[in-house]
Amino acid sequence: MSVSLRIGIIGGGGWLGGAIAGSIVDAGLVESGNLSLSYRSQQPDRFPNSFWTSDNQALADRSDVILLSVRPDDWRTLDVDAGGKLVISVMAGIGLAALSQRHKTGRVVRALPNAGAEVAKSYTPWIAAGDITEGDRAIVRAIFEACGSQDEVERESDIDYLTGLSGSGPAFPALLAAAMMSDAVAHGLPAEIARRAVNTVISGAGRLLERRDECPDDVVQTFLDYRGTTAAAIDSMRAAGFDASVAKGLSAAFQKSVSMGKVS
C-alpha cells in the first residue's frame, strides 16, 4: 500500500478517530503530511505535521479516502460531498444506502472498530456497498489491520449485531472486572490490591486466549472438568443467570443499533 495515499478522518480529534489515525501512521500506511483530521471546537495537540481543520468539506476535498468517525446524531447534520471517493463509516447504525445518498458516492463501507484500535488490538467487522472495487477492499483491510484484525461480513445485520458484541471493545470485560473488584473490596481487600488482581486476571486472560486461539467454550470446559473452585464459581454464576444476562445485553445493543439507523 502506497504511503502517498491521502486519508482524511472526519472526527479525527475524537477518541476513536485519533486512535485510528495513530495506528495507520504507526503502521506506515499514511505519511503524517497526507493525513487530514477535523475537530469541532479545539484542535488536539497531536499529529503536528498533519492537516487539521474544522471544515469537513475541505478535508474531503484533499483526501482520497474519507473516514467518518462522528456520533450518529452529529452525522445527521454533516453535509459533505465525497464526489465518488471511498467513504468508510465507523458509526453505529447508519446504513450503506443512507451513507451513499448523503455523501454522493457508491464507494461506501460500514465498519465497526473499537477502542482497542488505540493499542492496535481492535477487531473490526466491515461490509461494502456494490460499487466498491478490489482496490478499495485492499485499502479497507490495510487500515483495519493496522488497528488490529478485520473481517468482511456479508450482511448489514451482521454489523448491527457486532456493534454490541465487538464494538463494545473493553466495556464488557471492564464491566466484569468492576463487579469482581467490588466483591473483592467488599470482602476486605484493599482497593489497590483488588484492582491489580482483577486487572491482571482480565489482561492475562486476553493474552492467553489470543496466543492459544482456543474456543472460549473449551477453556471454560477445562475448568469445569477440573471441578475445583473455579468450576464452583462458574456453576453458581450460570445458575444466577450469567449467560442469559449476556444474551439479553447483546440483544439490547443490537436493537439499539437498528433503531439508530431507522431514525436517519
- Per the annotation, where are the binding residues for NADPH? 56
Q: Is 152 helix (H, G, I), strand (E, B) or coil?
A: strand
Residue 259 identity: S
Cα(257)–Cα(160) distance, integer angstroms? 6
Query: Cα separation of 171 and 151, whole Å?
Result: 21
- Burial label, 223 (beta-carbon count in 10 A; 0-12, 13-18, 19+): middle
Query: 152, 161 in Cβ contact below 8 A?
Result: no
Can you tell me the distance from the alpha carbon of 56 to that of 9, in angstroms, rounded to the nearest whole number?
A: 9
Cα 115 versus chain centre, distance: 5
CB 95, CB 159: distance < 8 Å: no
Longest dimension (CA), the chain: 62
The span from the CA of 42 to the CA of 36, in Å, is: 15
What's the CA gap between 251 and 108, in Å, rounded? 26
Q: Residues at the annotated binding site for NADP(+)?
A: 10-16
Q: Which residues are annotated as a binding site?
A: 10-16, 56
Q: Using an 8 Å Cβ cutoff, are 228 and 242 in contact?
A: no
51-53 and 65-68 beta bridge pairing: unpaired
Beta carbons within 8 Å of 256's beta carbon, 6+ residues apart: 93, 164
Dig out the grid coordinates for 59 from the structure. Answer: 478535508
